[in-house]
Structure 1
Amino acid sequence: MGRMRVVLNAKAGTIHDMGPERVRTIVDEALTRPGTNVDVVVAQGEAMARAISSAERDGFDTVVVGAGDGTVSYAASVFANTEVTLGVLPLGTMNMLAYDIGLPRDLAGALDALQKARPMQVDVGLLNGRAFHGVSGVGFFSQMALAREQLRAQRGRVLGWFMALGKAVARSGRMSIEVEVAGVREPIEAYAALVTVNAFDAPGWHRSRLDGGLLEVLVAEDRGTLARLKTGAEVLVNAWRDKPGIHAFQARRVTIHARRERAWVATDGEVERERVPLRYAIAPGALKLLVPPAAIQWREHDAQAVT
């Protein structure tokens, strides 16, 4: 018999609006099926982290996390290179991974898609040895994440985005960095650098592959305040890849050097002070992730399997 633990963030808007017991019942009824034992935990903070970290020890083979990208990233770091399968529910602010694999934003639709999902072996990134599932950025990206955290209480997703954009552009300064790939360093006067686990190469901030085995690094040159604002807006709609002043690299290992000991880095939405140089690597197929059958990534995955 399979055992599934579902960990839901008690502070999520959906739970606040519907009530924890109602959400617990809806999730339990949707995911319980013959041969599957479901344990739904509604928690927050350290209790939520403990429910995730203890799941394998407690005998659960599947863990579904309904929280923001930071908590999902923590779960990915816990379950990378284990036999536990990770599922996600979009109960956070951004829900980047859930959105990337095509999960509907409403709870009922996401649960329906999760019922039909099947495990895919996906890549995870490593930053200074710590796993993450999607994106890690410095400069503009860390400032954007900090600004969004400060503006979390602002009403309106679009207004919040543009207010955060303005703050991030104003706070982002020039960085003298060197991007090292295969032992070769390229110096760049930049104001932003983004490292992603496989390329977000499909329209609307989607990845066509979750198992491509490569990191992508995009670095934006510092070309002044007006150019920063333009590029910042293009970043939000993922339209900056081939623009002037953008340097692109793909590799299994990338190191970013800078003239400082530590830097603010936004990784899967969480901002931390990281030791420099920033050493990135990819761990191919390290995580089992529940991916809905309609996700674009299954088409590429199945096509590669045939060839």
Structure 2
Amino acid sequence: MRHVLVLLNAKAGTLQNRDGEAVRQEVAERLARDGRKVEVYLLNGEALVRAIRASGRGPHDTVIVGGGDGSVSLAARCHEHSGKALGILPLGTMNLLAHDIGMPTDIGAALDALDTARSIRVDMGTLNGRRFHTISGFGFFSQMARARETARRWGLGRFFAVPIAAFLALRRTGRIHIDVEVDGHSRHFAAFSALVTVNRFTGPGWRRGRLDEDLLEVHIVEDRGALAKLKAGADLMTDSWRGNPGIVSLSGHDIVISRGGRKRTWVSTDGELTRERLPLHYRVVPQALELLVPDAAPQRGSIS
């Protein structure tokens, strides 16, 4: 890490109550050690999008994105074959990938972690050809994303927004009939949700134990009646879902999900809600991204 480009999302959640320029200066000073050249830009809107898309080019060897899952997802997609390492400064509200690699959410601690970070290669997935780094789901999960946005518009903090969003999502989610094909083997489910993850959630708190298993895992929440639906929803929120008999998990490299003749469905992928064409075709892309992780993090991924 000798020449570092840092792109900060000025509209990121944790910057809303801070002086963005002061944060920019702090980042520049903290990372400019041992003769590193560091360029830090505070951007938003289309300017940020353009900068992230162009970040795979240029003389820098490392790109650090400060923002939430949307900014990180865009950066991950733009760094295919770039030869540059991607670092994350978690400034959003969910920070899925940052959570998995053990990146601290405190800005100062995160900068310390980035200063001594090591580089690993991690898997990514594709949904209908578009890359993503962690999770993609529909049914309850897409309704949860929509409801969370509603709760935020109401001005609720995260402490209240998450349970209220879960309640709204459960009310809005009905039974869906899906066909799930994993590596050529097909099964039919009457469900109210399905979630696809890049590698498996084997750690506590919805955390992936490894990022280089070369696997996808699909989790189908079966519709077994109103009480079972409520329990499954509660288990999903409290991290006790592995023991729920109504939640079926299947792993493989290639997953296709169809929904009874429907042409499109809402899908939440790494926190981004989109209207996707059916069937949904997921593939794993092994070791597709070079990622900076805290030096103290467990040995997840393959050290490059």
User: TM class by shorter-chain length?
Assistant: over 0.9
One-letter code aligned to 1:200: F
Q: What is the Cα deviation at residue 204 of structure 1?
A: 1.1
Q: Which moved more, 1:263-272 or 1:224-233?
A: 224-233
Mapping for residues 5-84 of structure 1, pairs under 5 Å: 5-84=5-84
One-letter code aligned to 2:48: M
Distance 2:270 2:301 in 1: 24
Partner of 1:126: 126
Distance 2:194 2:85 in 1: 31
One-letter code aligned to 1:68: G
Partner of 1:271: 273
Partner of 2:136: helix, strand, or coil? strand
Mapping for residues 80-91 of structure 1, pairs under 5 Å: 80-91=80-91
Distance 2:269 2:131 in 1: 10
Partner of 2:250: 249
Q: What is the Cα deviation at residue 299 of structure 1?
A: 5.8
One-letter code aligned to 2:25: T
Contact 1:147 1:167 in 2 (8 A): yes
Contact 2:7 2:43 in 1 (8 A): yes
Distance 2:52 2:60 in 1: 10
1:143-174 deviations in Å (ceiling 9; x for gaps): 00111112124333221111000110011111
Partner of 1:188: 189
Partner of 1:26: helix, strand, or coil? helix
Residues 129/299 of structure 1: CA separation in 2 closer, same or farther (3 Å cut):
closer
Q: What is the Cα deviation at residue 194 of structure 1?
A: 0.5
1:42-93 deviations in Å (ceiling 9; x for gaps): 1112111111111222322211111111221111111133212111111001
Q: Which runs of 5+ in 2 are unaligned?
A: none
Partner of 1:206: 207
Q: What is the Cα deviation at residue 301 of structure 1?
A: 5.2
Contact 2:28 2:40 in 1 (8 A): yes
Q: What is the Cα deviation at residue 16 of structure 1?
A: 2.9
Partner of 2:295: 293
For the pair 1:262 / 2:264, whether they are aligned, the reply is: yes
Residues 15/300 of structure 1: CA separation in 2 closer, same or farther (3 Å cut):
closer
Residues 20/299 of structure 1: CA separation in 2 closer, same or farther (3 Å cut):
closer
Distance 1:63 1:204 in 2: 28
Distance 1:18 1:145 in 2: 26
Distance 1:165 1:295 in 2: 31
| TM-score (ref. length: structure 1) | 0.94
Partner of 2:227: 226
Percent identity, aligned pairs only, is 51
Q: How many residues align?
A: 302
Distance 1:137 1:299 in 2: 24
Partner of 2:138: 138
Q: Which moved more, 1:25-34 or 1:123-132?
A: 25-34
Distance 1:249 1:136 in 2: 15
Distance 1:123 1:176 in 2: 30
Q: What is the Cα deviation at residue 288 of structure 1?
A: 0.2
Q: What is the Cα deviation at residue 31 of structure 1?
A: 1.1
Contact 2:14 2:92 in 1 (8 A): no
Contact 2:4 2:62 in 1 (8 A): yes
1:233-261 deviations in Å (ceiling 9; x for gaps): 21123321231112111111111111210
Contact 1:205 1:237 in 2 (8 A): no
Contact 2:86 2:291 in 1 (8 A): yes
One-letter code aligned to 2:140: F
Q: Which runs of 5+ in 1 are unaligned?
A: none
Contact 2:212 2:301 in 1 (8 A): no
What root-mean-square deviation, in Å, do the aligned CA atoms of Structure 1 and Structure 2 show? 1.7
Contact 1:198 1:216 in 2 (8 A): yes
Partner of 2:239: helix, strand, or coil? coil
Distance 1:287 1:193 in 2: 25
Contact 2:14 2:93 in 1 (8 A): no
Partner of 1:148: helix, strand, or coil? helix
Partner of 1:151: helix, strand, or coil? helix
